[in-house]
Amino acid sequence: MSSLYRIPGAVIYLLFCCLLSTAGEEVVKLQELEGNTVIIHTGLTAVQSDAHILWFYGPENVESRIVNSLVIRETVIEYFTERFRDRLQLNRNSGSLTIRNISREDSGLYKLQIITGRISDWSFRVNVYAPVLKPVIRNGTEKCSGIVTLRCSPVLCTVKNGKEVNLSWLKDKERISSISSTDSSDHLSLPLNITSSNCSTYTCVAANPVSNQTTQLKFTPLCNNNTGRNAHDRHIIIPLAVLICLGVIVAGSLILFKLCCKEETKQPEVAENGETDYSEVKITSPNSKEAYEGKVSRETKNQDQSETVVYSHIRS
């Protein structure tokens, strides 16, 4: 170690830059939400107390040193805070770097070098995303028709575009369409044509790798099955069925009442013993003057007046 520190600092720095430019180590990808505190972990549990720790940053390639921690006689940690201000913190035990209140402008390539008896390198690609906004559904939700099959005018879902934002329509949690665009300054719009004969739930989802927002289509399609009818259908069908039942009951009662009255006027009384009774019908001769004028009662009729008695059979 003593021989290493006899080398001029400029030579060491050039050596670091050369190693960084030619290193072929694996790049660890991190996806973070804007505003969070991010810790870039090295995976190390302990670093030599006299190790030299360096962190570098660049939007696309390594450009500048942001942390320099060197131990000669005492530990010295130097933060280059022109870009990151006071948001950085180094863990000397593991070499991990903490970035507070990370922003989208902090996206880029971070490289770590730990120099002891040898040089060890780590590379991290950090992508920072803004929270995705809630999508908005417009048009067509109220313009639907049909009884068995539902047909609606196109429904449009829109959201402000951003980094790696994707907009999708889900039908009963199954993706049926999606769209994305690299133009982050524009809005994303995705139409939906509803033609369905079953009860389905439609949801519009806006998402990026670290966040998502959903908006559900506030419309329940008409169903052609008893279990899936919506409340609007039941409010119409149930009162109509009650009215029809009441009408049938009233009409049936009237018909039954008329039939009973008609039977009573036609049928004479039947003896309790079940035998046939006869009724006496007296027919007065048409040549009787008193009967014609209606002035003489039947009990005082002239004995000479001829009377004819006819017995009518009563059906039991």
151 & 178 share domain: yes
pLDDT of residue 229: 46
- For the chain, what is the domain count? 4
Which of 219, 195, 208, 199 has its CA nearest to residue 137? Answer: 219
150 & 88 share domain: no
Q: CA 43, CA 38: separation in Å to the nearest integer? A: 15
Average pLDDT over residues 212-231: 62
pLDDT of residue 228: 43
Which of 94, 129, 164 terminates a domain? The answer is 129
141 & 87 share domain: no
Position 209 in a domain: yes
Position 272 in a domain: no
List, for residues 155-204, the tens digit of each pLDDT value: 899 999 999 999 999 998 899 999 998 887 789 999 998 765 556 789 99
List, for residues 87-121, the tens digit of each pLDDT value: 999 999 999 999 999 999 999 999 999 999 899 99
186 & 144 share domain: yes
78 & 106 share domain: yes
List, for residues 267-288, the tens digit of each pLDDT value: 555 444 545 554 454 545 555 4
> What residues make up the domain containing 142?
136-227
pLDDT at 9 over 50: no
Which of 165, 198, 227 terminates a domain? The answer is 227
223 & 148 share domain: yes
Q: Which residues pair with 160 in a beta bridge?
A: 187
pTM: 0.57
Q: CA 205, CA 156: separation in Å to the nearest integer? A: 12
Task: Please tell me the least confidently modeled range out of 120-124, 135-139, 279-283.
Answer: 279-283
Position 28 in a domain: yes
List the CATH number of the domain containing 94.
Answer: 2.60.40.10
Position 211 in a domain: yes
78 & 160 share domain: no
